Structure formats: C-alpha cells, structure tokens
Structure 1
Amino acid sequence: MIARRPSTVQKVSGLTLTGMVVGSMVGGGVFTLPKEFGEATGVLGAVIAWVVAGTGMLMLGLVFQSLAVRRPDLDSGVYIYAKAGFGNYAGFNSAFGYWASNVAGNVFFMVFTMTTLGTFFPRLGQGNTLLAVVLASAVVWLFHVLIARGVRQAAVVNRIVTIAKLVPILTFIVIVAVSFEAGTFADNFWGGDERSVRSVFDQVKETMLVTTFVFLGIEGASVYSRFARRREDVGRATILGFVSVLAVFASVTLVSYGVLPQADLANAEQPSMGSVLESVVGPWGSTFVSIGVIISVQGAYLAWTLINAEVLYMPARGDVMPRFLTRENVHATPIAALLSTTAAVQLFLLLVLVVDDALDFMLKLDTALSLVPYLLAAAYALKLTITRQTYTPADEPERRRQRAVAAVAVVYSIFMLYAAGPKYLVLAAIVYAPGTLLYLVARREQGLRAFNPAEAVACVVLMIAAVLGVVLISTDSLDV
C-alpha cells in the first residue's frame, strides 16, 4: 500500500476562485465564435442559442452552488456527486469522463495555439504538422514542470493570465460595436432563406456543442472547493464567473453579425475573431487577436491542467481510482495524477497527425465527454430535492426552488446529449470503456466486488457501444 504523506492545503480567496472559473471558461473557444455561429445560424438563432445555453448552464451553475452549500462534506470535485448519488461506478465514470474531456480540451488549446502561430510561421500549418506537434509537446511538458512546483504558484500565474487575456477580447467588443451597421445585422437576422420554426430549431441545435464547449469550466470552483478559505466562496465564484463570461460570449457573437455578412463569417479563417476585427481596422486587428489567442489559450491550458490533476487525485484518495494516483511530490503537488494527465495530452497530440480536422474534432469530443459528469451532478441535486435529504421542513420553499433548478439542468444536459448526435456519443463510449480497467484495479486494491447488478448492466452497455464505435470506424462507416 502506498503511504499517504500529509500535505498542507493552501487556501485561496473567493477572487482567486472566480479567476479559476473565468480562466477555465475563457479559453480558445471564444475566439472561434464568429465562424462557428456564422456556419450554423443567423442573429435570431444566435440569440435563442445563447438564451438556451445561458439558461441551461446557469441552472448547472446554481446546481453546483446548491450542492456546495447542502453537501459541504463533498469537497472532492464533480465526481463526488455522482458517487454519492449513484454509486462507485457512476462516480468513477464521472471522474474519468471529466478527466478525459479535459485532456481533449487541452489538446484543442495546443492545436489552436499552433494554428494561430501558423499565420506567421506557415510550417506549423493548421496545427497538425509534425513541427507543430513537436513544438506543442515541448510547451506541454514546460507547463508540467511549472505546475509540479506547486499549486499556489501556478494559481497566481493563472490569475495574471486571466486578466491579460480579457483585454483583447473586451477591446474587440468595443471596436466592433462602434463599427456596427444595422443593415448588415438585419441581413443576417434569419440565417438562411427558409423562415420557419423548424429551420431556426435546426440552426440552434447546430450551435449547442460549441456553446457548451465555451462554458466548460463553470464547475471550476467546485473542483477546487477544498482550497476555498470560505465554503460560501465556491457558489459565489461560480455564479459571478458565469455571468461575466456569458456577457462576453454573447457580445462577441452578436457584434460580429453587425460588420460582416453571415457567409463571410462562415468562411473566415480561425481565429475568426481576428478576421472580423481585421475587416474593421485592417491587418493589425488579426495580429492583435492572434496575440490574445496565444495568451488566452495557454492560460486556459494551465487552468485545466490544474483542475485535471485534482480530478484524478481526489477520486484516488476516495478509493475510486487506483492508489498510485495519490502520490505527491515535495511541493504537495499530486505528481502522479499530473504526470498521467500530461502523458495523456501527449498521446492525444500524436492523434492530431491522423485526424482530418483536429481542431473541430477535439472541440466536439471534449464537449461530448463532459456531458455525462454534468448530467450526473444535476441528477444528484434533483435526487436530494426528491428524497428531502439535507432539507428540513423549514427549507420547503428553497427545496421547491432548487428542485425546479435541478430539473431544468437535467433536461438541458439530456438535450445536449441529443445535440451531440450518435457520432460523438459513440466516440465518447470508446474513450470511456478502457477507463473501466482503472476502476477494476481500484476495486481489487480494496478487495471489493467489482459491480453490483445495475453497474454490471451499465458496464455491458458501455462496452457494446465502444465495440460498435470501433467497428464503424474500422469499416469507414464513421468518419473522424
């Protein structure tokens, strides 16, 4: 058995927790929004999409806030809610899927960085050349060394980077808003020739994965709740971070419709925010945004790597993951979990060389993998309101309100699974399935039975879906 050395938990303020939430959500996705929305919808669909996504993600944010208050003993991150509500195997899959989604997201960040640099250094291409992968790998291991030196130092860097990367985004919003043309905005209103409810619904559906992707990280304060000086800071940081980021994302999208036709937005080179700004101020606009992309994406990579080390470390301490992941170094950094995360990012980076559109692929895979942990957390919050656990008779009005919030969060999470489509759900199953081996190792270490009957059924269904995905890919029936 691995000895567990006591570590000194370094507490952080509510402001730092808010910075972690904002830093986690404001990554590369915001710089792709003009093109992503231009390809999918017009102004009407964009407004509806942000209302739907904003409402759904706000409900998830309120879920994490209420869980932080009602179950302060559960301070190990997102997975612990799935474990408490639905058992060890659900908790494990929540942890593993959340970790795997973050790995895919980190690869997206690195590919996006290389794509942006490719504007200045053509040999980097679209981030998928051998030189780009080698350079990205070097940066990945550099971050590994930084984080290994201690969470506090890395968190301070994250707060500085969060402030620095917001400057170009806010500058973009102001400049483009000043150049806004009502006629162009009106021409982009419907997003197509067909003006029907069905057409708008399909347009909104097409935006759902990208809107969810840019909001990933809303649970950042929950993951780091054990570092909070005050428990109530967790919920406050979640909501404050969400509201701030929603305003930024919606503004970036809508002002873009006021300066370029939808067809031009759809055909813009990534980062498309640079193309929009360039159309207003000239070539320096693209360069300015590119610098912002590099700062933002690398800051997001740092934030997510911090979170991902915790995502493996805390379940290992709770005997859901194998014990070797509890190992810490002299700086009290969960070094085994960090090394596993870095190695996984490195492996996924190699896949970039063989995937057709690595940027889009990693964005959508990241989102699909994250949906199950979100759904399980929302379902647990709903379960608490139904069973009345943690509620007293005096809490009845609050219980009814939180039941409604949790129900909306569950419905939204299910709708997101529908929007992801069968392709990415099958790909997610292929990623989830091998993780079960880690779960079996953890159960064996404890001398416990692997599955109860319900868990065994869930495992069989997962394996069937994974095998089906492998068959479809190998027969070219599923294009990746």
Structure 2
Amino acid sequence: MAKKANNKKPKGELGLLSLTALVVGSMIGGGIFNLMQDMSAEASLLAIIIGWLIAGVGMVLLAFSFQNLNRKRPDLDAGVYSYAEAGFGKFMGFSSAWGYWISAWIGNVSYAALLFGSVAYFFSIFDDGRNTASVIGASVMLWLVAWLINRGIKTSSLSNLIVTIAKLVPIGIFVVAIMAAFKYDLLTADVWGKMLEGSPDLMTQIKSTTLITVWVFIGVEGAVIFSGRAKKRSDVGKATFIGLSLVTAIYLLTTILSLAVLSQPEIAELSQPAMAGVLESVVGKWGAILVNLGLVVSVLGGWLAWTMFAVELPYQAAKNKTFPKWFAKENSRGVPTTSLVITSVLIQLFLLSFLIPNLNAYSFLFSLASSAILVPYLFVALFQLKSSWQEKASTPGRTRNMVIGLLATVYAVWLLYAADVNYMLLSVLLYAPGAVIYAIMRIYQKKKPFTMYELVVVVVLALLAIYAVSQLAISGSDLNLILFPAE
C-alpha cells in the first residue's frame, strides 16, 4: 500500500522465487503431520495418487479464480464472501461469510486436538489427547490467547519464522529418512485397496480423500495477498501454479512414502501425529521427539494468528453490514471484543468433542471444517464463471477466464458430491442458525428478509436441518452412529 505522503505506487520487491516460497510456506499447515494416517485409513495407493492429482488441479483453478477476481474487482475487498454477495445477493454473501467463519473456528479446535495428541507424547496426563486434562489444557490456551488478543497483541515476523521452521525442518528430515528406508514391495502390496476394511471400490476410496485434501489446502486464497508485492504481475500466476504444485508434491510424497515403510493397518494404529510414529519406525525415538516438538511449536506459534483470523472474519463482515453490527463492537484498543468472545465461546463448546467416546476428535473436526468451507469455495468459482461470462466478447482473457471458472465450478461441485454426506448434514446444522440470525438482522434493518429464490434456499436448508436433527434423535445423539452407521 502506498504511503499517504507519496502518490506513487511502491515498486514490488518479490521475484518469482520469493513469491513461490511464500505461497508454499503459507499453505503447509499442521495437518501434514497426520496426513498419512488420515489418507491411508480409507484409500489405497492408487486412490491416494488420483485424489491428490484432482485436488492439486482443482486448487490451482480456485487460486487462479481468486487472483482473477482480485484483479478485476478490487472493490470487493471485504473478504471471500464479498464475491458471493456481489454475484448472488445478500443472503448468499452472508451464508458464505457464515460458512467461512464456521470453518475457521472449528479448524482452530481441530488443531487443539492435534496439539494435545503431541503434548501427550511428553506428558502422560493427557493420555491420547482426548481426555478431561486435554480439554482443560486447551481451554487454558484458548482463553489465554483471547486475553492476549483483547490486550491488543499482534503476531510478529519472528513468530511466523519460528512456526515455518518448526513445520519445514521435521518434514524435510522425514522425507529424506523415509526415502532412504523405501521398500517398493511394501508400497505396491495393495495398490487397489483390496485389503482395506470392506474392500471399497476405487471411486469410493477417491471420494474418501476429498475432505482431507480440502483441509490441508484451506488457505489457498491466501496466495492472492502476495500479488501486490510482486515485481512483475505475470509472476503471480506462475508462483501460484508452481507453489501449489510443490505443495501437492510434498503432500503426495509424505503420504506415499509412509506406505513404503509401514503397512496401511500399521499406520492406522499409530498415535497422532502419525508422522512421528512413521519416522520413529525408521530412525528411532528421536524422530518421534522431533516431529512432536515441531508440531507443538508450530501449533502454539500459529494459534494466535489462527484465532485472530477467526475473530476478524465476522468483524469485517459486520463492518460491511453483512453480519449483525454488534460483531463490529471494539474496545479501546480497537479489538473486536464481541466477535472475540463469541468465537472463543464456540471454540470452548467444541473442545468438549474431545470427550466423546470412540470418536477421533481431530478427524471429526477437520472434516467438519472442510465441509463448512465448500459452499464459500463454490460461490467463488461460480462468480468467476458468471463475471467472465458477462464481460464483452472483446475483453482480453475472457475465454481463458470462463474456462477457469467453469472447471473450478466443476471441481467445487465435485467436492460437494464427494464429501461425506453425514458431515454435510452436520454442517447444515451449523448453517441453519445463520439463516435465523440473518432474518432477524434484516427485520431489524427494516428490510425484506429474503427474496423468493433465497426463501426457497432457506426452506431446503430447514428441511435438511430437520432431517439431521431426526438422525441425531434416532442415534441417541451418538455422533459415531451418524458418521459411521455401518460400524
């Protein structure tokens, strides 16, 4: 951003290599530390490879959509949801913001689950990270961070550097060590997944990877924020493509290489994070210590930034009059206190999921977070397609942008189709209260709550919510019976 005293636009300082490094660094999160277990639990080698290829191509298309919209509609700077609002109306904009916010704070809870799985390696009181001690520990962390944010603390470049090092060093050592211990016969022992429980067909296996790939790619839109710092605009698209290709390759490597040192059943039995157990099987106990320490430092260092992001979403939406205005209430330090308190309370409630018997809290939470963000991503793809279609035929790049929008939309629809229907139903229960809050907000503003087509959407949402509640009632509120009905 240019300084007020100077009307000249500052010259970008980042070349292609630097931009690519930023994209890679911003994309890889704590989810990679348990990726091999999440993937191999329900998918074979072939399904995993196909799943990553679909995700890699799809996410590149979404990233290009974000970049294109950011370039041609700089006025829509309120957030990802602003594209849904501009293209499909106020309620769709609200729903997109609501889903994006849900994904953000539930994602925080999932990282807390993964964190205490690692802390448990050093302190047995936390058992496997799914007990009362873990809930208490996570609660203390949650409200300590909330207090710090309320005091006006900000993240620093030093903390970001520490988090990046804590992530990348264990991953680098892991890849090198596993490549040295590579066993081809073990890797190819069950390419088609015939030994998986229930012997699912290939398409079922590929679909099972969907929410996992979405989870580790959440934040793909962050690649756009570096565009203003590029020396050459043409480098932005190149960096995004190269960066996302590298990230996909890293995810693919960590997943596939693990299957070359341990069998799928062995990986499935590992404690979280699974990367620690896989590396320990190759180099000894120090490998598990390194990975667990790396994850602890990474998550603790990133917790503040993630919480601030989750708090900022409804705050910015409220300032844009998309969310109720009380989300925009600030304290004397300019901190959105109402948003902070509500977000923290919701996180606190979902920390109790650690105590649900026989439920893998981390897997449950990241799957729910992934399900919630599918709708916002769909709206971005649709708006890319719609805005490109509405341009004049002579507009440079119109055909290219239409193709990107069409393919990104196909990918977004695939995500909705392939996502676990049970998680989608649970996410409906989180979306439904949003429709009520939106209606109250519009009535308070003395405006018509819904247009006719929005009302149709609300009715469908309500029916799905009723069905989801009925399923909860039938199962006796046992999430395991809903998520895993065949077991």
- Give the match for residue 281 of structure 1: 283
What aligned pairs does 1:62-461 form with structure 2 within 5 A after superposition? Answer: 62-150=64-152, 152-154=154-156, 157-192=159-194, 199-221=201-223, 241-354=243-356, 356-388=359-391, 393-395=394-396, 398-461=397-460
State the Cα RMSD in Å: 3.0
The aligned amino acid for 1:421 is D
CA distance in 2, matches of 1:228, 1:151: 26
Paired positions, count: 462
Structure 1 unpaired stretches of 5+: 1-10
Would the aligned equivalents of 1:191 and 1:262 in 2 still touch at CA under 8 Å?
A: no
The aligned amino acid for 2:387 is L
CA distance in 2, matches of 1:157, 1:13: 22
One of 54, 59, 62 as aligned partner of 1:60: 62
- Counterpart secondary structure, 1:460: helix
Q: Deviations over 1:129-175 (max 9, x none)?
A: 11111110111122223444557535652343123321111111111
Q: Do the aligned partners of residues 126 and 479 (structure 1) sit closer, same or farther apart at CA in structure 2, a change above 3 Å counting?
A: farther
Q: Do the aligned partners of residues 100 and 258 (structure 1) sit closer, same or farther apart at CA in structure 2, a change above 3 Å counting?
A: same
TM-score between the two structures when normalised by the length of structure 1 = 0.88
Q: Deviations over 1:45-85 (max 9, x none)?
A: 22111111111111111111111111111111111011011
Structure 2 unpaired stretches of 5+: 1-9
Q: Deviations over 1:238-272 (max 9, x none)?
A: 55653442232112112212222233223322211
TM-score between the two structures when normalised by the length of structure 2 = 0.86
The aligned amino acid for 1:33 is L
CA distance in 1, matches of 2:13, 2:89: 32
Would the aligned equivalents of 1:23 and 1:159 in 2 still touch at CA under 8 Å?
A: no
Q: Do the aligned partners of residues 343 and 171 (structure 1) sit closer, same or farther apart at CA in structure 2, a change above 3 Å counting?
A: same
Would the aligned equivalents of 1:83 and 1:89 in 2 still touch at CA under 8 Å?
A: yes
Would the aligned equivalents of 1:21 and 1:238 in 2 still touch at CA under 8 Å?
A: yes
Q: Do the aligned partners of residues 146 and 434 (structure 1) sit closer, same or farther apart at CA in structure 2, a change above 3 Å counting?
A: same
CA distance in 1, matches of 2:272, 2:415: 25
CA distance in 2, matches of 1:402, 1:178: 44
Task: Measure how far apart 1:103 and its partner are.
Answer: 1.4
Task: Measure how far apart 1:205 and its partner are.
Answer: 1.5
CA distance in 2, matches of 1:274, 1:301: 21
Task: Measure how far apart 1:221 and its partner are.
Answer: 4.8
Q: Do the aligned partners of residues 237 and 219 (structure 1) sit closer, same or farther apart at CA in structure 2, a change above 3 Å counting?
A: farther
Q: Deviations over 1:426-457 (max 9, x none)?
A: 11110101122332343234321111111111
The aligned amino acid for 2:191 is F
When structure 1 is superposed on structure 2, of 156-165 and 369-378 the one drifting more is 156-165
- Give the match for residue 33 of structure 2: 31
Identity of aligned pairs, percent? 38
CA distance in 1, matches of 2:322, 2:167: 36
When structure 1 is superposed on structure 2, of 79-88 and 173-182 the one drifting more is 173-182
Q: Do the aligned partners of residues 204 and 299 (structure 1) sit closer, same or farther apart at CA in structure 2, a change above 3 Å counting?
A: farther
CA distance in 1, matches of 2:242, 2:349: 35
Task: Measure how far apart 1:392 and its partner are.
Answer: 6.5
Q: Deviations over 1:334-360 (max 9, x none)?
A: 333233222221121124323633122
